[in-house]
Chains A and B, each alone.
Chain A
């Protein structure tokens, strides 16, 4: 129950604090996209032939597609030939066999980010996979996880060590041709994380991935695949940062979750990619496809996201509720300041009987930012007694920002119960004055009011993440009022 004031003291006056560039030798392929580049990536990662074929097929399909324009976003034309599709820190000789061999500069970078890669520092008991530009650098706590039968490794390793699992599940939730960015990702993805929780296992610790884009003119296309076998349970955290650069960088990830019978996956994201400066120059384009397949009966997937970064966010973590009695949840806080734009929300596709979904979305806009909630709740004919509850709240700071809500509901089964509630409010001068009159400084007051607004979502986050999320809100909205 400590006050925010101390934390805020540290935060006030801070700019994007993860905006440093690490000076490191990296192995980067020349900008441009063609079949050769894809073959190069595949060879570089020593992939089997089937995967190369899969990539090429996705690429050929992508060529027939066009950038989506339906979102409420103002996106400058992206030149896909100007992006480098592979950048890896140069490894000495055969690459690190253990953490001791990882480039100390990389470790330093992660320390700056507050990610404890050194296992001895691991008090929190969180296993981390760190992805730097295009490759996974280190996965910690592998041993302990292996004892429980949990597989947690980089995607590239999974391709080598567990090809049968990868082959079985890759693209089974988000098909390669799903959408423009998913197809692009399928063609050029470079690394990411892979998780498999065996039957009946409760993963003994939180799993975590940190993504960082360092090299300039590179895109980051990671691929995450999490499979929770029957009656297993896992909580997964994802964090993202990038250095400050004037040009926009593309991040087009795909995340696939598979929950089999009685399994539960909790997926939490704190997204803090560089948002661009206060004039809207630079920043990450965060175009991500995240989808969960509640394949088994009684399975449950819960998405929790705190989106404070990125110049443009285009992201709809979704659940396909296939199994009977399966449950999908989406808790989201999205903050846009200055010229940031976000079009985000979720899709809940009810297919099984007695499926339930909950959507709690909190959007905060300040300065000239534009934000949209876009959500689809679809109840198919087969989904008897499906239930959905959607709550969608927007908080505006100042009078130049915008909040928009686009809820789509398709119910084809008359037993469906779908509820939608939406509110839009302005951060009140009277609320602020009330806090000021009690001696609380404006920054702290705003932070407090905003955190109060987001409380229902923050309580879904694991403890340390909740603290980080609160701090991030403070930084993101700094100077947004007055």
Chain B
């Protein structure tokens, strides 16, 4: 599904990723953990194709395609979804309007019939339940005046509607209180499926109490230095990151 080999990437001339390898199969949930500045968000942004993140070496194969050859919107059409760490506010643009434009842009580029207003609304109603999305948020401007929790919930709601093949959740848990974290996690869990792979980028183990990953990776200084099962996350919670970083360096 996703095969990252020897990935090097830089941001403003500073090399952040330094030979990252990662292989994810369809249906798997991988957690990427690591201390601040280890390159977690850079990985998420490189996968989504954000400007300013320059890949200098290595390859990313996604669903049989060379992901790095695709424009950001083409990646979205191919099923790549990024839940933003800091969801952007777009004043005056209706939340549900943006989502409909997104759904139909993706469908159109896949050669599928676009949804009309009625079909779209039915889809929205169904998915709203998954993340207990409040109706009034639908008709507000995108993320404008949303609380931190509402913004993150909106991201997962969009993910539910867009049904991606590869979802990257960039610190979706940050800034959430425990109730919001539960709701968001339930939403994500309900979206797990054999065809969908999920990358959870997170700083804390807390999220993994609610979303059980198949694999946990520790990212440090631009490389994955340790991989394991869910138990690795618990160990990290207990001991912090330093012991691995030191062990691996030694």
Within 8 A of A (CB), among B75-96: 75-77, 81-82, 84, 86-93
**Would B88 and A439 count as touching, CB distance under 8 A?**
no
A426–chain B nearest beta-carbon distance, Å: 13
Query: Cα distance A5–B15 when bound, in Å?
Result: 38
Is A453's CB within 8 Å of the partner chain B? yes
Among A4, A437, A440, find the residue whose CB has the most chain B CB atoms closer than 10 A.
A437
| A–B pairs, 10, beta carbons within 8 Å | A3-B105, A5-B108, A434-B84, A435-B102, A437-B72, A438-B162, A439-B109, A440-B102, A441-B105, A448-B98
Which B residues are CB-close (under 8 A) to A429? Answer: 51
Is A383's CB within 8 Å of the partner chain B? no
Is A164's CB within 8 Å of the partner chain B? no
Query: Cα distance A433–B51 when bound, in Å?
Result: 8
**A428-B88, A438-B98, A452-B93 known; A433-B72 Cβ under 8 A:** yes
Q: Count the B residues whose beta carbon is within 8 Å of the partner chain — how many?
A: 37
Which B residues are CB-close (under 8 A) to A456? Answer: 92
Which A residues are CB-close (under 8 A) to B99? Answer: 438
**Would B72 and A5 count as touching, CB distance under 8 A?**
no
B3–chain A nearest beta-carbon distance, Å: 21
Nearest A residue to B48 via CB reads A437
Within 8 A of B (CB), among A208-226: none
Is A261's CB within 8 Å of the partner chain B? no
Nearest A residue to B100 via CB reads A3
Interface size class of A (residues with CB under 8 A): 20 to 34
Nearest B residue to A452 via CB reads B92
Q: Which 10 A-B pairs have the closest CB atoms?
A: A452-B92, A439-B76, A452-B93, A438-B102, A455-B92, A436-B72, A434-B88, A439-B106, A439-B105, A3-B101
Q: Which of B101, B158, B162 contacts A5 (CB 8 A)?
A: B101
**Would B108 and A437 count as touching, CB distance under 8 A?**
no
Q: Which of A433, A441, A444 contacts B50 (CB 8 A)?
A: A433
Query: Cα distance A217–B81 when bound, in Å?
Result: 55
Is A431's CB within 8 Å of the partner chain B? yes
Query: Cα distance A51–B240 when bound, in Å?
Result: 90
Is A413's CB within 8 Å of the partner chain B? no
Nearest B residue to A425 via CB reads B91
**Would B98 and A439 count as touching, CB distance under 8 A?**
no
Which A residues are CB-close (under 8 A) to B98? Answer: 435, 438, 440, 448
**A3-B101, A5-B105, A439-B106 known; A452-B141 Cβ under 8 A:** yes
**Would B88 and A430 count as touching, CB distance under 8 A?**
yes
Nearest B residue to A454 via CB reads B92
Query: Cα distance A397–B62 when bound, in Å?
Result: 34
**A437-B72, A439-B77, A439-B109 known; A451-B92 Cβ under 8 A:** yes
**Would A440 and B92 count as touching, CB distance under 8 A?**
no
Query: Cα distance A401–B71 when bound, in Å?
Result: 27
Query: Cα distance A428–B88 when bound, in Å?
Result: 9
Within 8 A of A (CB), among B92-122: 92-93, 97-102, 104-106, 108-109, 114, 117
Nearest A residue to B102 via CB reads A438
Within 8 A of A (CB), among B51-82: 51, 71-73, 75-77, 81-82
Which B residues are CB-close (under 8 A) to A431? Answer: 88-90
Among A3, A5, A453, find the residue whose CB has the most chain B CB atoms closer than 10 A.
A3
Nearest A residue to B81 via CB reads A437
Query: Cα distance A428–B92 when bound, in Å?
Result: 14
**Would A440 and B105 count as touching, CB distance under 8 A?**
yes
Q: Which of A2, A438, A452 contacts B76 (CB 8 A)?
A: A438
Nearest A residue to B84 via CB reads A434
**A431-B88, A438-B76 known; A451-B93 Cβ under 8 A:** yes
**Would A1 and B91 count as touching, CB distance under 8 A?**
no
**Would A438 and B87 count as touching, CB distance under 8 A?**
no
Query: Cα distance A442–B162 when bound, in Å?
Result: 19
Within 8 A of B (CB), among A4-26: 4-5
Nearest B residue to A458 via CB reads B92
Among B81, B91, B162, find the residue whose CB has the most chain A CB atoms closer than 10 A.
B91
**Would B72 and A444 count as touching, CB distance under 8 A?**
no
Query: Cα distance A452–B105 when bound, in Å?
Result: 19
Known: A437-B72, A452-B92, A452-B93. 16 other contacts (CB 8 A): A3-B105, A3-B114, A5-B108, A430-B88, A434-B87, A436-B71, A438-B76, A438-B99, A439-B76, A439-B162, A440-B98, A444-B101, A448-B97, A448-B98, A448-B101, A451-B92
Within 8 A of B (CB), among A443-481: 444, 448-449, 451-456
Which B residues are CB-close (under 8 A) to A441? Answer: 73, 105
**Would A452 and B90 count as touching, CB distance under 8 A?**
yes
Query: Cα distance A451–B71 when bound, in Å?
Result: 24
**Would A453 and B101 count as touching, CB distance under 8 A?**
no
B92–chain A nearest beta-carbon distance, Å: 3
Query: Cα distance A150–B86 when bound, in Å?
Result: 56
Which A residues are CB-close (under 8 A) to B86? Answer: 430
